[in-house]
Structure 1
C-alpha cells in the first residue's frame, strides 16, 4: 500500500506540473494585454464597435471588433490581427495607417485581450477568434474588390492558420512573422534544445504553408528585437509562390511599418490592387 500511495503522489505531482506548465505557456506565449485607450473616433475616423459571439464548443464568449468602413463599398478590405501583449488600442496607429490607404478595416481583440471579459487565451482560442472574425468581416464587406488579412507578429501565425482553412482570402500580409515559437526560443538559446517537444502552444506554420494559395507579402525589419530577421527570411523561403518580401534595414518589431512609411504603404496598396508594386 505504501508503494501504491507513492505512485499516486508522484502521478498527482506530475499532473500538477503539467497543468502549471500548460497555464504558464498560455500566459507567457500569448501574453494577454488589457490595455485600453483611444479609439478611431478620437482621430476623427468613423468606426463601429461589435462583439462577435464564439460557439460554446470553442469556449464561448465574445470577440471585440472595430469596423472602419471605406468610402466605397467596393474598396478592398483587410482584417487586422495583432500580436501578443497588444490590443486594438496599442496598435491603433497601424490600424489607422491601413485605413488611410483607402482600405476598409476590421481589427479585433482576441478573447482575453483589451477591455473584454477575463479569459486565458490559447493557441486554439485565438485561431477560433480569427475565423469567427473572418466570417463577420466577409459579411460586412460583401462587395469589396479584395479581402486581405494582415497579421503582425503572433498575429501573423494566426493569419496563416486562417488563410490555410478559410475561403475567400485574396492576400496575406505577414509583418514580423516566424514559423514557430520553438524557432524563436532556439534563436535565443541553442538549436539543439527540444523546444518543439516542450512547447504545446507552438503556433507552427510549417504544415500550413502549402495550403495558402493566396499571394503573400512578408514584411520584416533588420532591427527587429523580438523576431530576428533570419526567421522572417526562413518563413519567406519556405512559403510557396506567389509571394514577395519587403525587408528593410533598421526599424524594430512593433513599428516596422514606420521604417519607411511610403514604401510600406506602396507595397500594401499593391497587395490590395491599388498599385502595381506587387
Structure 2
C-alpha cells in the first residue's frame, strides 16, 4: 500500500475532491492486477489459480458464486466469491454444524482473491479443516464496479456475513480474517455488527493480519507523505473522502476475541503500527486480544505470514481455545 499525497497551500473544494479521488485510487489500487487484461478477470474456475501443491481447487471442494450487496446509484450489487470446503466436508454447500469453523477472508488492496499469497493462505486453512469464504469487494475482481469507499467495502463484508447466515446457518464458529487494508475493513465491519446487535452478532473471533491503527498513520509512515503532510490536513482529507479506516476506534467495540498477526520486517504496514493498535485497544479496555509477532529472521514481510511454521498452531489455539463459545 504505497501512498503519496500532494497539495497546495490553498485549494478549492473542487480541487480537493479531485485530490481525494486520486488518494482513493492509490489506497484501494483496484486497477493493479496480473495479468492486467481483461479488466474483469474470469475467476469462475478457481482451479486455474491453484498453483502447485495440495489441496487442489476443483468443483468437488470449491464453489464460485456471487453475493448480493446493497445497490449504489449505478445499481452495482454483485460480489464475486469463492467458497472452499475442507476434505472432511460432504462436498455440498449446506448448513454447517457447531463443530465446524468458517473463515471469512477479507483481502487488502490491489489484485483480487486469486493473488498467489491469498491462494496460499486458503490452502493452508483448508488443510487445517476450515471452511473458507473469500470475497472480492465491489470494484475488484469479477465483482460489480463501484465508487470505492470505506462505506462500500464494509457493506460488502456485511453482505458476506449475511450470506453465511442465510446459506450456512448460525451454528458454526465464524471467524473474520482481514489482511492489511482488509484488517481495517474487518475491524469496522465486526464492530458495527456488534454495536447493532448489542454484542450478539454471529462472529466468534477476529484475526487481523498486518494491521495498522489508522489510515492517516499508515500514510504518514511513508517518507514522502511525511514531507508533504505540512501542506495539507491528511485526516481531514481522508474523512471527506470516506477513507478514515480507524481500527483504533473500532477494535475496542468488538466483543469477540481478537488475534493480531504481524511480521517484524513488514515494510508496507510497519510492525509498530500493529503494536500501537493493540496497545490502544487494551487502553480502551479490550482484554481478549492476543498479539503474535513473526521475527524478522523469518522474512515473512507483508504477505507471507502464511508460510510460517508457527501459523497453524497459532490459529488452532485461537479458534479452539479463545473462541470457545458463540455470544
Which TM-score tier does this pair reach, normalised by the shorter chain? Answer: 0.7 to 0.9
2:237 to 198, 203, 209: 198
What is the aligned partner in structure 1 of residue 78 from structure 2?
62
Q: CA deviation at 1:41?
A: 3.1
Q: Write the deviation string for residues 13-64 of structure 1: whole angstroms up to 9, x where unpaired.
A: 8243122122112201111144458854354231111111222258632110
Measure, in 2, the Cα distance between the counterparts of 1:53 and 1:275: 32
Measure, in 1, the Cα distance between the counterparts of 2:126 and 2:114: 15
Measure, in 1, the Cα distance between the counterparts of 2:177 and 2:42: 22
Question: TM-score of the superposition, structure 2-length normalised?
Answer: 0.73
Higher relative contact order (CA 8 A, sep 6+): 2
Distance 1:188 1:120, change over 3 A: same
Measure, in 2, the Cα distance between the counterparts of 1:127 and 1:117: 15
1:112 aligns with 2:158: no
Q: CA deviation at 1:243?
A: 0.9
1:151 aligns with 2:178: yes
RMSD: 2.4
What is the aligned partner in structure 2 of residue 51 from structure 1?
66
Q: CA deviation at 1:137?
A: 1.9
Q: CA deviation at 1:265?
A: 0.9
Q: CA deviation at 1:145?
A: 3.4
Native 8 Å contact 1:26 1:120 kept in 2: no
SS of residue in 1 equivalent to 2:203: coil
| Unaligned residue ranges in structure 1 (runs of 5+) | 1-12
Measure, in 1, the Cα distance between the counterparts of 2:72 and 2:110: 26
Distance 1:254 1:132, change over 3 A: same
SS of residue in 2 equivalent to 1:223: coil
What is the aligned partner in structure 1 of residue 3 from structure 2?
none
Q: Write the deviation string for residues 200-249 of structure 1: whole angstroms up to 9, x where unpaired.
A: 31211222122101100000001101011000101111221101111011
Native 8 Å contact 1:154 1:177 kept in 2: yes
What is the aligned partner in structure 2 of residue 19 from structure 1?
17
Q: CA deviation at 1:256?
A: 2.1
SS of residue in 2 equivalent to 1:272: helix
